[in-house]
């Protein structure tokens, strides 16, 4: 017997209260100005997991599934679905009467074209749904066929950092033909792209024909109301300028606040600090494992052996309020994914042993290239720490500093870097971290058949609870192979919000629908 799932019932499972944005005095012609610290390298949601892209794209595009406030996958463009007895075939019935921003009606053809391209080019599709295929049943129905059952299929489809965005088929066909990123951003979301000036700003405007779901808003799911007419992402890469803009009220929202000065905002007039209650990011050092000095696992292990995690995080984030030292790939409140099995390999700070391991690695004085940007101050500071640690163990290095889009571009070629500091936003399942699976082809190019095998075994397990031993094994293998070094995780960043802005929420990034701005 097929299992039948009701979209409405799933969405009602977790409801996050929010302000009534249709209250008297709301200005529906208002403009929301956001001071944002980083510029996107691309706006194609399939090709990046970077927040500068996803924070914008989640307003333009919708997916078959998204996540609610409990980080559970729930339907978005799907009305209902069934799962076959062998757990290999999902049948999705699409919502009726949904139009793209260009006026075209959403059909199964658009979904099949979009999802098959996403499967082919995204890190999530390549790594976590290899061999999967979408097919059309009729104008409003599609199937997803898997070569093997997988516990995490819906989590992957609902990924918020490599968004499986549904676009018109004509746009997908053009991208497939040209083999270039999508540049015409047409979705079904509550806002549409009005203008993008790469170095300065991105302008969204309300899509007045948007058809929202009716279920209560929860996380990124449920009802979405566009009660602000225009949204401007102002790309302000200088921290002090963003701070000043928050203090003076120049911006309605200020993200990526400088941590050293955040306390000064608590007494600012007409301003509140919004502190997300969940989320955060893994703090890591990412190695180039394909070529260069760190292709040798012993040199990666030497760097890890030398690290003083507390001092590194303190240099990067300035105050223990902003980070938690932790060796796990999962977050503590992710019961099924949290593991301390890798702790013996973490935070050892053994310089003499590290120097011996450098010699054993066969290192011959090659220069390690650390790639960084000052647009992410914490990550830049961690890059400086890395250079100091390498010097302590007798490894030469240089720091190459670029703007963030250039870092993203240069990172694609393994000839350009050996090490960088990166944050990875909290994910629903560990498989969504692109640095783990060799099939993801993420910069740094992990190649561990043992890690791949454990990831696959977890997907095939009867339940996540029964996979706990495999999760422990995955953490140990990660620390032995070292695709990255996990230092810990950030506490979610506070956001400066003007007092006339109501309804702001955050879930792995700003939630800009259901916001309103009061009159006056």
pLDDT at 520: 60
pLDDT at 183: 87
pTM of the model: 0.87
Domain 281-490 belongs to what topology? Dipeptide-binding Protein; domain 3 (3.10.105)
State how far the Cα of 71 lies from the Cα of 428, in Å rounded to an integer.
6
Listed residue (58, 238, 82) closest to 158, CA to CA: 58
Nearest-angstrom CA–CA distance, 159 and 220: 11
Q: Kindly calculate the radius of gyration of the chain based on its CA atoms and give it in whole angstroms.
A: 23
Q: What is the pLDDT of residues 152-203, one digit of tens each?
A: 999 999 999 999 999 999 999 999 999 899 989 999 999 999 999 998 999 9
> Residue 225: pLDDT above 50?
yes
- What is the pLDDT confidence band of residue 5, given thresholds at 50, 70 and 90? low
At residue 18, does pLDDT exceed 80?
no
- Geometric angle at alpha carbon 189, from 185 and 193, rounded to 5°: 35
First-residue to last-residue Cα distance in the chain: 58
- For residue 435, which of 476, 399, 486, 385 has the smallest C-alpha distance? 486
* Distance (Å, whole) CA 393 – CA 360: 12
- Using the predicted structure, report yes or no on whether residue 223 has a pLDDT greater than 60: yes
Task: Specify whether the CB–CB gap between 280 and 490 falls below 8 A.
Answer: yes
pLDDT number for residue 14: 43
Dump pLDDT digits (tens) for 30-69: 999 999 999 998 999 999 999 999 999 999 999 999 999 9
What is residue 282's three-state secondary structure? Answer: strand
Is pLDDT of 370 > 90? yes
Mean pLDDT of the 136-144 span = 98
Confidence bin at 268 (pLDDT 50/70/90): confident
* Band of residue 267 on the pLDDT scale cut at 50, 70, 90: confident
Q: Do domains 21-37+190-279+493-520 and 281-490 have the same CATH topology?
A: no
Assess whether pLDDT exceeds 90 at residue 92: yes
Phi, psi of 41 (to 5 degrees): -80, -30
Encode pLDDT of 111-130 as tens digits: 999 999 999 999 999 999 99
Token pair of 79 as six digits: 């009305």
The residues, any chain, with a CB within 8 Å of residue 404's CB and separated by 6 or more, are: 38, 39, 41, 52, 237, 373, 375, 376
For helices 297-306 and 351-360, the axis angle rounded to 10 degrees is 170
Per-residue burial over 479-508, b if 16 or more Cβ lie within 10 Å, else e, is bebbbbbbbbbbbbbbbbbbebbbbbbbbb
Tokens matching residue 281: 């990011």
Locate 310 and state its tokens. Answer: 């507390």
Q: Does residue 131 have a pLDDT over 60?
A: yes
CATH architecture of 21-37+190-279+493-520: 3-Layer(aba) Sandwich (3.40)
Mean of pLDDT over the chain: 93
**Domain locations along the chain:** 21-37+190-279+493-520, 45-185, 281-490
Q: Are 482 and 284 in contact (CB under 8 A)?
A: no
Q: Is 376 helix (H, G, I), strand (E, B) or coil?
A: coil
Distance separating alpha carbons of residues 183 and 40, to the nearest angstrom: 13
- Give me the CATH code for the 45-185 domain, please: 3.90.76.10
Element (H, E) at 154: helix 153-157
Q: Where are the beta strands (DSSP E) in 110-229?
A: 133-138, 141-145, 191-197, 201-206
E strand or H helix that includes residue 92: strand 89-94
pLDDT tens, position by position, 344-364: 999 999 999 999 999 999 999
Q: Residue 3 pLDDT more than 80? A: no
pLDDT for 15: 43
Binning pLDDT at 50, 70 and 90, where does residue 269 land?
Answer: confident
Residue 108 has pLDDT above 60, yes or no: yes
Write the burial class of residue 352 (CB in 10 Å: 0-12 exposed, 13-18 middle, 19+ buried): exposed
- Per-residue pLDDT at 12: 44
Tokens of 357: 């391991």
Using pLDDT thresholds of 50, 70 and 90, give the confidence band for residue 464: confident
Average pLDDT score over residue span 255-280: 87
**pLDDT at position 279:** 83
- Provide the 10 A C-beta neighbour count for residue 77: 21
């Amino acid at each position: 017997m097929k299992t039948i799932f009701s979209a409405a019932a799933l969405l009602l499972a977790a409801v996050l209260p929010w302000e009534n944005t249709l209250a008297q005095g709301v200005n529906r012609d208002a403009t929301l100005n956001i001071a944002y610290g980083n510029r996107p390298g691309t706006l194609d949601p399939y090709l990046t997991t970077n927040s500068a892209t996803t924070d914008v794209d989640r307003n333009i595009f919708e997916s078959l599934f998204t996540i609610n406030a409990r980080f559970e996958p729930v339907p978005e463009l799907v009305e209902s679905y069934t799962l076959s007895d062998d757990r290999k075939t999902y049948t999705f019935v699409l919502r009726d009467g949904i139009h793209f921003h260009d006026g075209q009606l959403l059909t199964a053809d658009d979904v099949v074209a979009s999802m098959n391209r996403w499967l082919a080019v995204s890190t999530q599709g390549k790594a976590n749904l290899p061999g999967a295929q979408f097919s059309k049943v009729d104008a409003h129905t599609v199937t997803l066929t898997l070569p093997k059952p997988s516990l995490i299929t819906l989590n992957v489809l609902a990924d918020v950092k490599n968004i499986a965005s549904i676009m018109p088929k004509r746009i997908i066909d053009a991208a497939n033909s040209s083999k270039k990123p999508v540049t015409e951003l047409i979705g079904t979301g509550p806002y549409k792209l009005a203008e993008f000036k790469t170095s300065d700003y991105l302008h969204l405007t309300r899509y007045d024909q948007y058809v929202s779901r009716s279920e209560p808003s929860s996380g990124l799911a449920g009802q979405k109301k566009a009660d602000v007419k225009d949204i401007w992402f102002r790309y302000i890469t200088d921290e002090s300028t963003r701070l000043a803009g928050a203090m003076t009220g120049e911006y309605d929202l200020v993200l990526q606040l400088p941590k050293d000065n955040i306390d000064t905002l608590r007494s600012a007039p007409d301003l509140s600090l919004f502190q997300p209650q969940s989320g955060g990011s893994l703090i890591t050092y990412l190695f180039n494992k394909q070529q260069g000095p760190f292709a040798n696992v012993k040199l990666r292990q030497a760097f890890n052996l030398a690290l003083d995690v507390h001092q590194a995080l303190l240099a990067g984030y300035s105050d223990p309020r902003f980070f938690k030292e932790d060796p796990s790939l999962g977050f503590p409140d992710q019961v099924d994914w949290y593991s301390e099995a890798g702790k013996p390999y973490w935070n050892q700070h053994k310089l003499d042993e590290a120097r011996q391991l450098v010699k054993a690695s066969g290192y011959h004085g090659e220069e390690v290239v650390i790639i960084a940007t000052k647009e992410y101050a914490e990550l830049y500071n961690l890059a400086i720490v890395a250079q100091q640690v390498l010097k302590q163990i007798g490894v030469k290095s240089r720091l190459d500093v670029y703007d963030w889009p250039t870092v993203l571009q240069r990172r694609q070629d393994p000839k350009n870097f050996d090490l960088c500091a990166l944050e990875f936003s909290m994910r629903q399942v560990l498989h969504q971290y692109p640095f783990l699976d060799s099939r993801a082809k993420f910069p740094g190019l992990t190649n561990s058949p043992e890690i791949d095998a454990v990831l696959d075994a977890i997907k095939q397990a009867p339940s996540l609870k029964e996979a706990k031993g495999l999760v422990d094994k995955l953490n140990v293998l990660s620390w032995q192979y070292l695709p990255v070094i996990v230092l810990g995780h950030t506490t979610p960043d506070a956001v400066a919000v003007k007092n006339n802005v109501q309804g702001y929420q955050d879930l792995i990034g700003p939630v800009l629908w259901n916001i309103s701005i009061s009159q006056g």
